[in-house]
Amino acid sequence: MKEISCKLLVIGAGPGGYICAIRAGQLGIDTVIVEVGKPGGTCLNVGCIPSKALIHAAEEFEKVSHMASGKSSLGISVTAPVLDLTRTIAWKDAIVSRLNSGVAGLLKKAGVKTVHGWATFRDGKTVEVETETGMQMVRAEAVVIATGSAPVELPFLPFAGPVISSTEALALGEVPKRLVVVGGGYIGLELGIAFAKMGAKVTVVEALPRVLAQYDAELTRPVVKRLSALGIEVMTGAKAKGLSTKGDALLVETSDGKNAKLAADKILVTVGRKPVTEGWGLEQIDLDKAGKFIRIDDQCRTSMRGIFAIGDVTGEPMLAHRAMAQGEMVAEIVAGHKRGWDRRSVPAVCFTDPELVTAGLSPEEAMAQGEIKIGMFPFAANGRAMTKLGEDGFVRVVARADNHLVLGIQAVGQGVSELSTAFGLALEMGARLEDIAGTIHSHPTQGEGFQEAALKALGHALHV
The closest of 227, 199, 178 to 80, measured between CA atoms, is: 199
CATH class of the domain at 2-49+88-151+274-334: alpha beta
How many other C-beta atoms lie within 10 A of the C-beta of residue 287?
18
Under a CB-based contact definition with an 8 Å cutoff, are residues 273 and 312 in contact?
A: yes
Phi and psi torsions of 358, nearest 5°: -130, 140
Under a CB-based contact definition with an 8 Å cutoff, are residues 142 and 7 in contact?
A: yes
Q: How confident is the model at residue 51 (pLDDT cuts 50, 70, 90)?
A: very high
Return mean pLDDT, the chain. Answer: 96
How many other C-beta atoms lie within 10 A of the C-beta of residue 29?
22
Q: What per-residue confidence (pLDDT) applies to 147?
A: 97
Q: Is pLDDT of 409 > 90?
A: yes
Under a CB-based contact definition with an 8 Å cutoff, are residues 250 and 235 in contact?
A: no
Active site residue 441: no
Under a CB-based contact definition with an 8 Å cutoff, are residues 373 and 401 in contact?
A: yes
Q: What string of DSSP letters covers 375-430?
A: EEEEGGG-HHHHHTT--S-EEEEEEETTT-BEEEEEEEETTGGGGHHHHHHHHHTT
Phi and psi torsions of 448, nearest 5°: -60, -25
Catalytic residue (choose from 321, 443, 460, 463) = 443
Give the type of residue at 18: Y
Q: Is pLDDT of 435 > 90?
A: yes
- Mention every residue, 6+ apart, whose C-beta is less than 8 A from residue 285: 121, 123, 124, 304, 307
Ordered alpha helix ranges (H), 73-183? 85-109, 166-169
Give the whole-angstrom CA distance, residue 18 versus residue 10: 8
C-alpha dihedral sign at 402, 440, 359, 354: positive
Q: How confident is the model at residue 233 (pLDDT cuts 50, 70, 90)?
A: very high
Give the whole-angstrom CA distance, residue 264 versus residue 253: 16
Give the whole-angstrom CA distance, residue 60 versus residue 221: 23
Give the whole-angstrom CA distance, residue 285 versus residue 123: 6
Q: How confident is the model at residue 448 (pLDDT cuts 50, 70, 90)?
A: very high
Specify which residues 421 forms β-bridges with. none
- Delimiting residues of CATH 3.30.390.30 domain(s) in the chain: 348-458
Per-residue pLDDT tens over the stretch 364-376: 999 999 999 999 9
Q: How confident is the model at residue 7 (pLDDT cuts 50, 70, 90)?
A: very high
The CATH H-level superfamily of 348-458 is: FAD/NAD-linked reductase, C-terminal dimerisation domain (3.30.390.30)
Q: Is pLDDT of 219 > 90?
A: yes
> Residue 176: is the preceding peptide bond cis (ω within 30°)?
no
- Delimiting residues of CATH 3.50.50.60 domain(s) in the chain: 2-49+88-151+274-334, 163-271
The closest of 341, 447, 451 to 406, measured between CA atoms, is: 451
Q: What string of DSSP letters covers 70-95?
A: T--TT----PPP---HHHHHHHHHHH
Q: What per-residue confidence (pLDDT) applies to 379?
A: 98
Q: Is pLDDT of 187 > 80?
A: yes
In this predicted model, which residue has the larger pLDDT, 286 or 185? 185
- For residue 284, CA distances in Å to 11, 120, 124, 279 come to 15, 9, 8, 11
End-to-end CA distance of the chain: 71
The closest of 161, 171, 166 to 268, measured between CA atoms, is: 166
3-state SS, residue 54: helix
Q: What per-residue confidence (pLDDT) applies to 342?
A: 78
Domain at 163-271: CATH architecture: 3-Layer(bba) Sandwich (3.50)
Per-residue pLDDT tens over the stretch 351-395: 999 999 999 999 999 999 999 999 999 999 999 999 999 999 999
Give the whole-angstrom CA distance, residue 292 versus residue 309: 13
Q: Is pLDDT of 106 > 90?
A: yes
Give the whole-angstrom CA distance, residue 189 versus residue 161: 22
Q: What string of DSSP letters covers 312-346?
A: GGG-SS--HHHHHHHHHHHHHHHTT-------S--
Under a CB-based contact definition with an 8 Å cutoff, are residues 355 and 413 in contact?
A: yes
Taking residues 131-140, what's their average pLDDT? 94
Per-residue pLDDT tens over the stretch 206-216: 999 999 999 99
3-state SS, residue 179: strand
Q: What per-residue confidence (pLDDT) applies to 286?
A: 86
Specify which residues 391 forms β-bridges with. none
Phi and psi torsions of 310, nearest 5°: -140, 160
Taking residues 150-171, what's their average pLDDT? 97
User: How many residues does this entry show for the chain?
Assistant: 464
Under a CB-based contact definition with an 8 Å cutoff, are residues 168 and 270 in contact?
A: no
3-state SS, residue 108: helix
Under a CB-based contact definition with an 8 Å cutoff, are residues 250 and 240 in contact?
A: yes
Under a CB-based contact definition with an 8 Å cutoff, are residues 407 and 435 in contact?
A: no
Under a CB-based contact definition with an 8 Å cutoff, are residues 52 and 351 in contact?
A: yes
pTM: 0.95
